[in-house]
Amino acid sequence: MKHGPRAEEAGAVTPEACRRRGTALAGNDPDPHRHQVVEIPRAKATVEEFQLHALKCDRCGISTRATLPPGVPTSSFGPRLQALVAVLSGAYRLSKRAIDELVGDAFGVPIALGSVSNLEQATSEALAAPVEEIAQALPKESIVHMDETGWLEQSKRAWLWIAVTARMALFAIRHSRGAHVAKELLGSAFSRILISDRWTAYAWVDTQRRQLCWAHLLRQFLGFQTHGAEASAIGRALELLTETMFHLWHRVRDGTMTRREFQKRMGPLRNYVIAHLREGAGCSLRAVAGRCREILELEPALWTFVDVEGVEPTNNEGEQRIRHAVMWRKTSFGTDSPNGSRFVERILTVVTTLRIQKRNVLDYLTDACEANLHGRPAPSLLTA
């Protein structure tokens, strides 16, 4: 017995008969159950052909061939396909072979592996100006998170750096982990607030304008507890104080504690932390004592988040934003050339910035690639 029409018929669906008695039913349900099915259309690439005629001059006999119209790529691939290749590589970490297979399966377009590289480089050129715009703007941001991770360029050791703020991110691949790279990204006259770990490359920034990552410190305190009874007692005390601090901080963030009350309660906690660090600095275990002295030298940078609204006590933002690059490195094994490194840092800068701003990555890259074809400036990354 039929209770309704076939499932593939869209729109209002009413049962034809009672499911118990089989009697005919009529009317409309004022509040029907709604079931929606999302589907994507079968995609097939379009092909435009430009026939470039060569005509001979009757007077001199020279042949002249027509050139492509403005905005037509000299390659065989249009700006949206070019942008898609860059997104699949930089945003989704697909290998060149996987990109070739996906574009072939989804759109029926075969792309040679060399063409994938060429499209990446063309996109890199299109993104040079907007990335430079980010590089110029970032040192003026009020709060900057920074981190760095290992990289390989031409099988040689390099470092991938990130500087990230509330509205942008900047990546750079350099053959150094030194302070001059941090100064390059932040500007040597940087006068805002930096959130980072204790790496010495950031030591040139005034401790009053730094915030050390408490997640790193907590791992350090846990590490103390593997070095015998004396160090373990110090590490355990610092661990408990850190957990208390995080509990209070989370209450401030979720609105169940005012910042004034938080600051009041952090006063005694701060004194306890300093006291235990001083105790650790006198520990008989040199490694633990050295770490505690290092932290005490940067002691003002432990508490910036208490006094300055908007500052986080951890560098989670920097670490989370750089993780995508870490995963990419594990599958790509780095880059084969400086040009490859420029593509990586530019596409990561653009993708991460757009993700922060909640903007569509493919649409932006398509606009940037198309602008480059027409000789126009790429869209800004600083305005939505």
Q: Are 306 and 212 in contact (CB under 8 A)?
A: no
DSSP 3-state of 12: coil
Examine the pLDDT at 42 and tell me if it is beyond 80: yes
Q: What's the pLDDT band for 44 if we cut at 50, 70, 90?
A: confident
pLDDT tens, 95-146?
999 999 999 999 999 999 999 999 999 999 999 999 999 999 999 999 999 9
pLDDT at position 384: 57
102: left (phi over 0), alpha (psi -120 to 50) or beta: alpha
Domain locations in the chain as residue ranges = 214-314
Return the higher-pLDDT residue of 38 and 146. Answer: 146
Amino acid at 208: Q
How many Cβ atoms from other residues are within 10 Å of residue 282's Cβ?
Answer: 12
Q: What's the pLDDT band for 4 if we cut at 50, 70, 90?
A: very low
pLDDT at position 383: 77
HEC readout, 187-213: CCCCCCEEEECCCHHHCCCCHHHEEEC
Q: Mean pLDDT for the chain? A: 94
Could you tell me which residues come within 8 angstroms of residue 229 by beta carbon, excluding any fewer than 6 positions away?
none
Q: What's the pLDDT band for 221 if we cut at 50, 70, 90?
A: very high
Examine the pLDDT at 189 and tell me if it is beyond 80: yes
pLDDT tens, 227-279?
989 999 999 999 999 999 999 999 999 999 999 999 999 999 999 999 999 99
Burial 307-316 (b: 16+ CB within 10 A, else e): eeeebbbbbe
Gap between the Cα atoms of 194 and 327, Å rounded: 25
Q: Any idea what the Cα angle at residue 367 is, between residues 366 and 370, rounded to 5°? A: 85
Alpha helices in 255-358 (DSSP H): 259-281, 286-297, 304-307, 316-332, 338-357
Gap between the Cα atoms of 29 and 122, Å rounded: 57
Q: What's the pLDDT band for 169 if we cut at 50, 70, 90?
A: very high
pLDDT at position 9: 60
Give the DSSP letter of residue 138: G
- Give me the mean pLDDT over the 82-102 stretch: 95
Alpha helices in the chain (DSSP H): 79-90, 96-107, 113-137, 179-186, 214-224, 229-254, 259-281, 286-297, 304-307, 316-332, 338-357, 361-373
Q: What's the pLDDT band for 354 if we cut at 50, 70, 90?
A: very high
